[in-house]
Structure 1
Amino acid sequence: MQNRDDFAKAVEIAFREDKEIMVEDYLVGTEYRFFVLGDQTLAVLLRVPANVIGDGVHSIKELVEMKNDHPLRGDGSRTPLKKIVLGDIEKLQLKEQGWTIDSIPPRDLIVQLRANSNISTGGDSIDMTDQMHESYKKIAVEISNAIGAAVCGVDLIIPDSEKPAEPHLKSWGVIEANFNPMMMMHIFPYAGQSRRVTLDVLKMLFPEMK
């Protein structure tokens, strides 16, 4: 948030969703989802907040409509990506950048529509399994094992994924550990290699399949 008024507006929007909200420290870095099965990280996904890329011709509203036409985007739970909705949160995010939904951004400029990187709010998914440093994959496994999860989605904030993790939380942070992680976004990423994590889960449940 850039000022008190925007903060008050964000709190108002948050209270529409629940009776309680949590305000946390801002962690500098990029959020990644680690899919952990047992003692192994099978997939790492970079989830990019909802955005559009300007072409110098179309408005932000039109660019959203064009991006929503992607065959992987839908409204329900059957598609790996979700359509972008231009609601109050998105408009507030645009306001902070000096834009409205009718603004025409210049060519190749990335316009952020959300601060959070959830797929459910129109974010993009990019496979980063091979690019992620092994030390972070190990941390994700340790977190999953510590809470006794056989299958877990661990969200980490990492400043530089190519450098090894340091043994303190100043170089990385934990967002959450999800006991029921979404698998479809690893199988059908917006960009990058497909990871068939569902097959590995089935083999864990039914060892005779190996």
Structure 2
Amino acid sequence: MRSLREFRSGKPSSYPDQSVYAEYACSEFGLAFQDIDGGTGFVVSVASKTRSIHFGAGRCSWYPQNNATASTLASDKYFTNKILERAGIPTLGGEYFFLHDRHRAHRPAGHEREDALEYFRKLGATAFVKPLQGSRGDFAQAVHDEVSLVRYFGEASRYYDSILLQPIVSGIEYRVFLLDDDVVYAARKYPPFLPGDGVHSIRDLLIAHNETLQSRGLSPASAMPDRDTSLDAVLPKGERWEIPGRMNLSAGGTMALEAPRAEAALSLAGKTAGALGLRVTAVDMFTDIGGDPLAIRVIEANSNPSIRLLEDSGRSDLILKIWRHTFSAMGLLGV
């Protein structure tokens, strides 16, 4: 049997991660895997002797054991918060607002741009803002004045029609991945950073970093004030300059397999999955808010989470565990 690394080496860099993992799992479980999109990996089939199902990459869910209603609700960060709050689960709260006037006649009052500015003032003119149905950390950032928020409206409205404004909360960020009631793994998240080379300024490194993000279809890490002379400093080789805010892997953040200090965080993740009706989910949360490990708030729940961290960490056994759950739920394997 080929290793997961061998599977990866035989595929183009654009081949979706989950297609690699699905093929790898099929070879382990005796199932037939077929790419039906000319080798792109974006539409594949998996078949047993009696049944065949299809998977699609990109926006398509890789976890069909999550029903469509639960997945759709979880993709809306405001709906997620309302459901979790009703279940007694602490969240970051916040309010949603629309960036376009179209369909205004079909929605309740109080959720337009002017309302967002009023809510922003109630938060003390500082907030964390992100698309209501965004992913990969795109356009997720802290905003500290009205001018910046108005600028954000214009930039985000090119790609999204609604946003969520939330109070800024600081803590240690974790992701907890669950299959039903079973915690498969927990990971601590760390912010992106710029590695110093002793030659280029922070400003130049940040420009290059943002160009890489934009080439991947993501918003830049932050606006760079022209008058901020601290950005002109040259980082010594080996020194790191952290980029605050989002910690998504796609945005340059890192994760390491590590459990939260408090067992209560894992229990809260399980309650989150149950409240949303998700059989597969990755729950993102802050712990240790204000230094208290029991001060925990759920950030969001992902119904279609990436598992690249497991490959990077050499845990192909957990990748196979996740795919066994998926294949069994779809009747391709015996329980």
Give the structure-1-normalised TM-score: 0.68
Out of 169, 173, 182, the residue aligned to residue 306 of structure 2 is 182
Q: In 2, distance between residues paired with 1:175 and 1:48?
A: 15
> Which amino acid is the alignment partner of residue 23 of structure 1?
L
Query: In the TM superposition, what whole-angstrom CA distance separates every residue of 1:21-40 from its partner, at most 9, and x where no partner exists?
Result: 12111122132211111212
What SS does the aligned partner of 1:18 have? coil
1:118 maps onto 2:248 in alignment: yes
Q: 1:97 to 1:177 in 2, by over 3 A?
A: farther
Q: 1:152 to 1:99 in 2, by over 3 A?
A: farther
Out of 23, 28, 35, the residue aligned to residue 170 of structure 2 is 28
> Which amino acid is the alignment partner of residue 111 of structure 1?
E
Given that 2:201 and 2:232 are in contact with CA atoms closer than 8 Å, whether structure 1 keeps it comes out as yes
What SS does the aligned partner of 1:17 have? coil
1:145 maps onto 2:300 in alignment: no
Report sequence identity in percent.
23
What SS does the aligned partner of 2:165 have? coil
Aligned-pair RMSD on alpha carbons?
3.7
> Which amino acid is the alignment partner of residue 328 of structure 2?
F
User: Which deviates more from structure 2 when the two are superposed, residues 150-159 or residues 1-10?
Assistant: 1-10
> Which amino acid is the alignment partner of residue 298 of structure 2?
V
Structure 1 unaligned regions, length at least 5: 68-82, 166-170
Q: 1:97 to 1:34 in 2, by over 3 A?
A: farther
Structure 2 unaligned regions, length at least 5: 1-142
What SS does the aligned partner of 2:271 have? helix
Write 1 or 2 for the structure with the bigger share of helix: 2
Given that 1:44 and 1:132 are in contact with CA atoms closer than 8 Å, whether structure 2 keeps it comes out as no
Query: In the TM superposition, what whole-angstrom CA distance separates every residue of 1:29-86 from its partner, at most 9, and x where no partner exists?
Result: 1322111112121112223332213344333445886x8xxxxxxxxxxxxxxx5459
What SS does the aligned partner of 2:174 have? strand
> Which amino acid is the alignment partner of residue 311 of structure 2?
I
Q: Answer with 1 or 2: which has the greater Rg.
A: 2
Give the structure-2-normalised TM-score: 0.46
Residues matched between the structures, number: 184
Displacement of 1:3: 3.0
Q: Which residue of 1 aligns with 2:221?
A: 90
Query: In the TM superposition, what whole-angstrom CA distance separates every residue of 1:82-123 from its partner, at most 9, and x where no partner exists?
Result: x5459873341x4399368765235624231x5211222222
Q: 1:156 to 1:4 in 2, by over 3 A?
A: same
Q: 1:21 to 1:126 in 2, by over 3 A?
A: same
